[in-house]
Amino acid sequence: MHESLRSKHNDRILPGLEAIERESERLEGADPREIIAWAVETYGEGLALSASFGGGEGMALLDMISKVTDKVTVLTIDTGFIFKETAEFREEVMRRYKLPVEVLKPELTIEEQVERYGEQMRTCTPNLCCQIRKIEPLQKALNRYDAWMTGIRREQTPQRAGTKVVAWEERYKAAKIAPMPDWTEAQVWDYVRANNVPVNPLLHQGYKSIGCEPQTRPVHHDEDPRAGRWVGIDKTECGIHFEDGQISHAGA
């Protein structure tokens, strides 16, 4: 990749791969708000936030961004399987925060998905369901953006342990920015409480990681926070953040 790139929708010159790597190293250990300020200055309106409205880290990040700019678009995916509480919470949150929001939806309805791929797709069966209902809508949306921010943290899963502050995502053709990669769960909740940040009500009902309703359950206090996702299946990621070579393309 060249040292610089041109924005997808204006004449802004953007960092190339080598510059992104340098910036990631420079920003390592920086306060998330410093990283957000850099991202806003670098990418402008070509910057988006991917938010599920499920976890405390995503809400903390949304709150931080709202104090820096009102130009970052919030991209959120409605798979058709999300909890009613999550959908209602999303609407409540976006009335409070004045950031533009875009609700992404799959090309196939659930019924069309079942008709094409079988009855097992009615209960959000991985991995093809995640590909159709999460990954492809985000890929399509990011065709219009130069960079996206995410609230993922290194301590969440073994795969996320290597998360960089800034990295180039070739399959999305966009830079991926993680402003709080080294934050602990305790730091997230300290910020939430100190800043009166709203969180998904399901987090107070035993859920610690909230995804699609058919594949999410509450967890015990001594369980891993993501133990309630895809129970009984050797799966810890939907595939948005990591390609493991096992996800089938929906068109295949």
Catalytic position from the list 124, 130, 212, 238 = 238
How far apart are the C-alpha atoms of 2 and 96, rounded to whole Å? 41
- Residue from 30, 29, 5, 35 nearest 17 by CA: 5
CA-CA-CA-CA torsion sign (60, 216, 153, 139): negative
How far apart are the C-alpha atoms of 212 and 217, rounded to whole Å? 10
Q: Is 218 helix (H, G, I), strand (E, B) or coil?
A: coil
Neighbours of 195 (CB within 10 A): 12
Q: Catalytic annotation on 238? A: yes
> Across the chain, which distance is largest between two alpha carbons, in Å?
51
Q: Would you state the torsion angle of the CA atoms of residues 210, 211, 214, 216, taken in this order, to the nearest 10 degrees?
A: -40
Q: Is 114 exposed, middle or buried (0-12, 13-18, 19+ CB in 10 A)?
A: middle
**Residues with catalytic function:** 238
